[in-house]
Structure 1
Amino acid sequence: MKNQVSSIYKQAERFAEITKKSIISGNIFRAKRCLALAERLFISGSNETKNAISNVYVCSVSTFLEIRHCSISNLFPQTLKAECIKQINTSGL
């Protein structure tokens, strides 16, 4: 089970990298598709999947967008946007 959980987090990390590369290359359509898939996984996935999407994917992509001064409101689907805001409020930033 530990290897499976580790691979879920690695997959979320890789998925975040794909999303960020899509944004960098200007392929916003692909980035939005990635974000929509992440939202579906977050809504309907197992607890491990939800944790990986929340703690790895959302954190990575939202930090990337913040550093590049991009607005998440245009890209993030509603559920992921709420999760991102929840993380920000929890961290006290």
Structure 2
Amino acid sequence: MKNQVNNIYNQAERFAEITKTAIITGNIIRAKKCLALAERLFATGSNETKIAISNVYVFSVSSFMELRHCNILNLFPKTLKAEYIRQINATGV
């Protein structure tokens, strides 16, 4: 089980890297598709999947977008946007 959980986190990080590459290359359509898939995984996945999407994917992609001064709120789907806002409020930023 521990190996499986680590694998979920590794997959979420790799998925975040794919999304960030799409943003860097200007492929916004692909980036939106990735974000939509992450949204679906967050909404329908297991508890481990939801935690991985929240703690790894959303954190990684949102941090990257903030550093590059991208407009996060227009790109993120509704549920991921709410998760992003929850993370900001929880960290006191």
TM-score by length of 1: 0.99
Instruction: Output the CA distance in 1 between the equivalents of 2:26 and 2:74.
Output: 14
- Structure-to-structure mapping, 1:67-78, within 5 angstroms: 67-78=67-78
Residue type at the aligned position of 1:43: A
Offset at residue 71 of structure 1 (A)? 0.8
Instruction: Output the CA distance in 2 between the equivalents of 1:53 and 1:80.
Output: 9
Q: Which runs of 5+ in 1 are unaligned?
A: none
Identity of aligned residues (%): 75
Cα deviation digits, residues 51-84 of structure 1 (max 9, x gap): 0000000000000000001111111000000000
Q: Which runs of 5+ in 2 are unaligned?
A: none
Q: Does 1:33 align with 2:33?
A: yes
TM-score by length of 2: 0.99
Residue type at the aligned position of 2:47: N
CA RMSD, aligned part only? 0.3
Matched length = 93
Residue type at the aligned position of 2:59: C
Cα deviation digits, residues 36-56 of structure 1 (max 9, x gap): 000000000000000000000
